[in-house]
Structure 1
């Protein structure tokens, strides 16, 4: 017990077989007496296994933890629980967020059946642990001054919630909350001159502690900048300006090497480490930020912009591609040359595809306004070509993932980051087929759209994001008189309403804050291809008035962006 946080230790199956997972996760104060947050943790052996899976299968997606320190924190937490000692809410929140993200990404092939009986059980646990972690974080924000663990837990939870719900207000609020906590802890001036730093604690940080704070800070900032060029309500805006921070880049070192070298040493990016992907992601994010600074606002008249500036910005993406180390390049020769690196760092395979998906998604987004204006200026053919190349690259990544990662690819295809880019890439192909009838074989272009929709249909069986993306694409295109799949082929996936409980039955104790229900997103009898003959989809896919203005297409792209949230 710690200031209103009550923790019980129960095996996963035991917890799911009781009413604990339904009643305790509701966060209803009237049902738990004086407790503000009441949570359950798995026994130590299951917790150790979950942390091990996190270290191997999740942490490389957001490398913001020092895993040796986290292992010690978890060891201390379970010791304190066994002795009945006071525990820190931030440590509970961090451990819960780790368990939630691990459970979400597990599959039977990654050993998920060691703790969870099936994939649906794992997703349900991810849902419950996320809800509990949010409750503990809310309590921690009211009862403590904040800590780096609070920020880390918030970042990891935002990853889980993004995959559950998409780019929702909750995800954006969590991301903004993490940045606010970081500024409160002076992370934005971590490497300012000590004699100008008013905070008394930063100079006392260990070298490892300061390095972890750099990782945390730059993960948040790079996410902020990438999302600024991703569509949605925040398009064209970001929260952190580089002039408002004094934080060095993280070092290109593995955790085990942080205390082996002097604090200024970093390996070149040509040498792979667990941090190389993070540093490349920061470089890509900086290009996105520069593009946002140079472009007119999304609501301005794109017909009056300086197109040479667009070409210059696009060439920055091209230069970034040329600068990639060989083990992050996509061509077959480079991938073959990188087999030894992949053996040493297996996560690089997934990181490579996420980086390329993000890169090509942003590049396509940059050129997208001119895709609909090719008839206005022949120079815009450059943007159409780049936009289509980027979209097709994103779609072709699925085949490469299937080849390089075999059946494990399905677990990573359902990640919202990849699905978001895949969704928008499919939309680009649809728009081009509508607008540019002379752009190549109509049958081939229609078939690639059908194949892309098939991937989303296959992914929706285990991903609420895929289901929502496909439904959004179909709904919006139908609104604009583009004939697509009938609405019955895509299940209605909604966040929990105020009267829906974790079992899908009415529960007045839950509010609109609650996460998407795993029982709604993973119906056991649902077959995504049962209600549609997707091979015949192209026969009635397009029926659009060709007199639509570019502004109308801008509104359509905007509608697609807004349906992501």
Structure 2
């Protein structure tokens, strides 16, 4: 029981602020009831309760910190093994079709939690996560969640009664699923340009802006204004951004358009304006300007998770601004009409890298580990690739060397993450290497790209020496993995150096087409 409580508390600290669907007091009651049932040798705990706890324990294990390991007298290897064991146990419960998993809302919350956990793991991503999301969709349809707040449903509840905490959890599950769907439609992923959930086909109220301890089973929650911070603040702001992404998908040309039409450029500028307006309209505690940060110091001290939720919110927006302008990025260097896109794209790419650095500064105040989040890795990679392209096509710019070092430093961050999420980093490396092979095979306007010799000690010397002479601009702070960096094994760095040399030989249109292909090789945001 001691270990279970430690894992539960760590999940609440590390993953729940980015998840936000569970009613933590109720989940804690499930923990106590499950262990009491086991100790009393009763008929056995509910399968829904077991599924929820296995999902929570898997999440806590994958989000391990040195402090958690010390409290449990465990090692990183123990944590990774525990994650696999708990995730497997959860899947066994979920796959047992002999009887329904009860209670249904707990089972749905557990499945959504497991999907969230696997989304940030090396274990079978992204196939298993997509499978679980599809399962959640089937379960939500079975529970008729899309009509949760129709007039008929509300009248039925007024007659028969209900548990309002359960209703609120159902709203959270519905809207986090919808938000993920809409965000994925405008992100540069495989789901670019499409979404599943149609607003006119649902009638579900947005969850209340209220902390869990103020929810009551006997009465409907009355939310606070969005200007007041709660544990649901980030959830609700994410939903606002998701709705904006849905609008963008509706307005931009469909990805199945056979004419490959580009949108009217005025629409691109207008979408950029709306994304920036979203940032301007954030509550003060989610703004990143120095005055707002100073004004929010007390809030962040009371609610430490606000600081990194603030960073992640801006990270998500700037990744999308960069993605929006990327098709015009290089053209903006030669065509004044698109100069704004070039500036906006590079500025947001730099913001993505700077925000990634700020995530490391929050390590002491949060159990959040960005190097284990696929979405973070994806956007850092694409921002770095964008800036690398900018450097390659503008090698004589006054700040070219500084830009090059920033890009190299960002790639070193990805390389350092190997100890945390080896499969994710290796996936990024494979994408970079595939990109290089494609570059070599494409004819250019000036010359054929030639293949460089295979990796040898000689070919590794130049980048290794370069890094030893130049300190990283984006250092990783804290964590045991930071000491694992070995410049002599910098495979990704060598690939990037080669990339910087050969890209200028490629025609701009060829390059933008290739970059677009790379953009969609990643997972679902």
TM-score of the pair, normalised by structure 1: 0.78
Summarize the alignment of residues 380-419 of structure 1 with structure 2, pairs less than 5 Å apart.
Answer: 380-406=338-364, 411-419=369-377
Residue in structure 1 matched with residue 389 of structure 2 by the alignment: 431
CA drift of 1:66 comes to: 0.9
- Asked if residue 62 in structure 1 is aligned to residue 19 in structure 2, the reply is yes
Q: Which of 400, 421, 432 is the aligned partner of 1:474?
A: 432
1:229 maps to which of 186, 194, 208: 186
2:505 counterpart residue number: 546
CA–CA distance in structure 2, aligned partners of residues 554 and 415 of structure 1: 27
Question: Matches of 1:237 and 1:89 in 2, distance apart?
Answer: 35
Aligned-partner Cα distance in 2 for 1:242–1:65 = 24
Using the TM superposition, give the Cα deviation of residue 459 of structure 1 relative to its aligned residue in structure 2, in angstroms. Answer: 1.4
1:221 and 1:488 map into 2 onto residues whose CA distance is 49
Cα contact 1:162–1:171 (8 A) shared by 2? yes
Q: CA deviation at 1:116?
A: 4.9
Shift, 1:162, TM fit: 1.7
Distance (Å, rounded) in 2 between the aligned partners of 1:314 and 1:192: 35
- Within the alignment, does 1:179 sit opposite 2:137 as a pair? yes
Say if 2:278 is the partner of 1:320: yes
Q: Judging changes above 3 Å, is the alpha-carbon distance between structure 1 residues 330 and 535 closer, same or farther for their aligned structure 2 residues?
A: same
Q: CA RMSD in A?
A: 3.2
**Other-structure match for 2:418:** 460
Offset of 1:456 from its aligned partner? 0.5
CA deviation after TM superposition for structure 1 residue 208, in Å: 1.5
Q: Hey, what does 1:22 align to over in structure 2? A: none
CA distance in 1, matches of 2:159, 2:301: 38
Aligned to 2:463: none
1:148–1:213 contact (8 Å) kept in structure 2 = yes
Are residues 1:298 and 2:255 paired? yes
- 1:18-37 map, 5 Å: none
Aligned equivalents of 2:271 and 2:182: distance in 1?
Answer: 15
Tell me if 1:78 matches 2:39.
Answer: no
The answer to whether residue 267 in structure 2 is matched with residue 309 in structure 1 is yes
Q: CA deviation at 1:329?
A: 1.1
Which range moved further: 419-428 or 132-141? 132-141
Distance of aligned partners of 1:195 and 1:396 in 2 relative to their CA distance in 1, 3 Å threshold: closer
Partners of 2:105 and 2:221 in 1: CA distance: 22
Contact 2:15–2:368 (8 Å) recurs in 1: no
Distance 1:97 1:88 in 2: 14
Measure how far apart 1:476 and its partner are.
2.8
CA contact (8 A) 1:211 1:250 kept: yes
The answer to whether the 8 Å contact 1:401/1:409 transfers is: no
Secondary structure at 2:86's aligned position in 1?
helix
The answer to whether the aligner puts 1:556 opposite 2:515 as a matched pair is yes
Query: Secondary structure of 2:505's partner?
Result: coil
Query: What SS does the corresponding residue of 1:543 show, helix, strand or coil?
Result: helix
What's the offset of the Cα at 1:84?
3.7
Deviation at 1:140, TM superposition (A): 5.0
1:162-198: CA deviations, max 9, x gaps?
A: 222485222222112212211211111111112698x
Correspondence for 2:234: 277
**TM superposition shift of 1:130:** 0.8
CA distance in 1, matches of 2:490, 2:400: 22
Report the counterpart of residue 500 of structure 1 in structure 2: none
CA distance in 2, matches of 1:383, 1:284: 21
Q: Distance in 2 between matches of 1:172 and 1:58?
A: 19
Q: Which moved more, 1:545-554 or 1:58-67?
A: 545-554
Larger helix fraction of residues: 2
Deviation at 1:230, TM superposition (A): 2.0
Quote the offset at 1:238 in angstroms: 1.1
1:98-145 Cα deviation digits (max 9, x unpaired): 000011112113x32222511221122112211221121111586448
Residue number in structure 1 paired with 2:472: none
CA contact (8 A) 1:461 1:528 kept: no
Q: Which residue of 2 aligns with 1:148?
A: 105
Asked whether the 8 Å contact 2:63–2:368 carries over to 1, the reply is: no
Distance 2:256 2:409 in 1: 33
Unaligned runs of 5+ in 1: 1-43, 490-521
Which is worse superposed, 532-541 or 261-270? 532-541
Are 1:45 and 2:2 an aligned pair?
A: yes
Which among 379, 394, 403 is matched to residue 445 of structure 1? Answer: 403
Q: How does 1:221-260 map to 2 (within 5 A)?
A: 221-259=178-216
In 1, Cα distance between equivalents of 2:212 and 2:497: 54
What is the Cα deviation at residue 262 of structure 1? 6.1
CA shift, 1:443, in A, is: 1.2
Aligned to 1:518: none
Deviates more, 1:456-465 or 1:233-242: 456-465
Give per-residue Cα distances to partners, 1:266-294, cap 9 Å, x unaligned. Answer: 11111111000000000011111111111
For residues 357 and 212 of structure 2, what CA distance do their matches in structure 1 show? 33
1:60-104 per-residue CA deviation (whole Å, 9 max, x = no partner) reads: 110111111111112221222221413322211110000000111
8 Å contact from structure 1 (residues 215, 250) kept in 2: yes
Correspondence for 2:165: 208
* Whole-angstrom CA distance in 2 between matches of 1:487 and 1:193: 67
Matched, 1:374 2:336: no
- Per-residue Cα deviation, 1:445-464 (whole angstroms, up to 9, x for no partner): 21111011011111122113
Change in Cα spacing, 1:409 to 1:73, as seen in structure 2 (3 Å) is closer
Distance 2:218 2:453 in 1: 58
